[in-house]
Structure 1
Amino acid sequence: MSRLWVTGYRGYELGIFDNKDKKKEVIDYVLKQEIITAIESGVDWIITGGQMGIEQWTIQAANELKEEYPGEFRTAMILPFKEFGSNWNEVNQAMYNQTKLMADFTAEVSNLPYQSPKQLKNYQEFMISHTDSALLVYDLDNPGKTQYDYNRIKEFADKHPYPLKMISFDDLQNSADEYFESLNNGFQDE
């Protein structure tokens, strides 16, 4: 069994506030390509959290690939604490609940509502100890909340075999060029 932890920027950190945003199209494309590569390399669990942005989009992208790769992988949404997302507005809670239903497995690391940053540290430890590698949509030159996960993963990977793949803003730009070129070529072929 091989398990991949996927995390990264929140939607607002990327300036994405609408699912119809072209930037989200590119990220969905990148996530699907990365998930396909992971599945074809033997990953059978895609594991992420429930944060708005990369984590929820990962579950959504993986869900779309299940027809193409039936029975080859499963998804898990692991949450740091009970009642995660309960302070979000109704629209975000609805999206979260819809995405959560797409996951094959969901669980909370702490069975208590948020009480302290210790729960977030415990979440990181759980994720590292229950995965074999990590994929971060994160650029070190553009800090965000994922910095905490990156720091912990890097610290762990320096002492243990734990592959970490990073997708930077340059990588996203290259993927955007590739994605929109493929769309334009599709229109020219018609």
Structure 2
Amino acid sequence: MRRLWVSGYRSYELNVFQDNDPKVAIIKEVLKSRLKNFLDQQADEFWLITGPQMGSERWAVEIGKDLQADYPQLKIAMMFPFAQFGQQWNETNQVKLAEAKAGLDFSAEVSDKPYQSPQQLRNYQQFMLTHTDAALFIYDPEHPGKTQYDYRAANKYCEQTDYQVHLVDFDELQEAAEEWQERERERRAEKYGY
């Protein structure tokens, strides 16, 4: 595997409205661990390919950029489903998108036209499947969100190819949150002596 599609819940689907929300730290920690596992198995060039959505995709870019110092084989690409994506967002989110896009190894639009129909989103989905070897979704099938469409398409694609779908579900995130809370308790006890 040399090309990984990373996607998942949008921030609002997780009730995350601030970058300093503890949920973001947990998701990033789990995502970093998963990506490191993939990278440790790959000495050659490895592409993290994601989209521009606020939430899992932006966090994947941030983690990827952090990991590039230790994993020079890691390249990051952001694919936009259509032209002018994000222009309707508020100024704060447009700045965050520009920051995420800065310093990437590659970015492009699957459709060179602004949004016109849902077909552009299906074309984007097909592009991502045919240009990656596997997907890592921060997604729990028991809690549907917009990623359910990518998840279904990827599973269908698995039936015809050797494509792989990896999930980070709510159970894994809950376990990581409990471990994080335990480390925080230990840190406070060490620092304050209780």
- Where does residue 78 of structure 2 map in the other structure? 77
- Where does residue 12 of structure 1 map in the other structure? 12
Structure 2 unmatched runs, 5+: none
Q: CA deviation at 1:180?
A: 2.8
Pick aligned residue for 1:56 from 52, 55, 58: 58
SS in 1 for 2:162: coil
- Where does residue 31 of structure 1 map in the other structure? 31
Instruction: Give the counterpart letter for 2:24 in structure 1.
Output: K
- Where does residue 110 of structure 1 map in the other structure? 111
SS in 1 for 2:160: coil
Q: CA deviation at 1:68?
A: 2.1
SS in 2 for 1:149: helix
State the distance in 1 between where 2:64 and 2:185 align: 25
State the distance in 1 between where 2:132 and 2:34 align: 16
SS in 2 for 1:110: coil
Counting only pairs closer than 5 Å after superposition, residues 1-190 of structure 1 correspond to structure 2 as 2-42=2-42, 44-69=46-71, 71-188=72-189
Instruction: Give the counterpart letter for 1:10 in structure 2.
Output: R
What number of residue pairs does the alignment pair up?
A: 189
- Asked if 2 retains the 8 angstrom alpha-carbon contact of 1:133 and 1:164, the reply is yes
Instruction: Give the counterpart letter for 2:61 in structure 1.
Output: I
In the TM superposition, what whole-angstrom CA distance separates every residue of 1:84-111 from its partner, at most 9, and x where no partner exists? 1111000011101111114221010001
Q: CA deviation at 1:188?
A: 4.9
SS in 2 for 1:87: coil
Structure 1 unmatched runs, 5+: none
Q: CA deviation at 1:189?
A: 5.5
Which stretch has the larger CA shift, 155-164 or 40-49? Answer: 40-49
State the distance in 2 between where 1:180 and 1:29 align: 13
SS in 1 for 2:110: strand
Q: TM (normalized to structure 1)?
A: 0.94
Larger radius of gyration: 2
Identity %: 43
State the distance in 2 between where 1:102 and 1:27 align: 22
State the distance in 2 between where 1:61 and 1:186 align: 24
List, as ranges, runs of 4+ consecutive aligned residues in structure 1 with deviation greater than 6 Å.
none
Q: TM (normalized to structure 2)?
A: 0.92
In the TM superposition, what whole-angstrom CA distance separates every residue of 1:142-172 from its partner, at most 9, and x where no partner exists? 1110011011001001221011111111110
- Asked if 2 retains the 8 angstrom alpha-carbon contact of 1:136 and 1:167, the reply is yes
Which stretch has the larger CA shift, 54-63 or 178-187? Answer: 178-187
- Asked if 2 retains the 8 angstrom alpha-carbon contact of 1:29 and 1:179, the reply is no
CA RMSD of aligned residues (A): 1.4
Instruction: Give the counterpart letter for 2:107 in structure 1.
Output: T
State the distance in 1 between where 2:39 and 2:89 align: 32
- Asked if 2 retains the 8 angstrom alpha-carbon contact of 1:46 and 1:75, the reply is yes
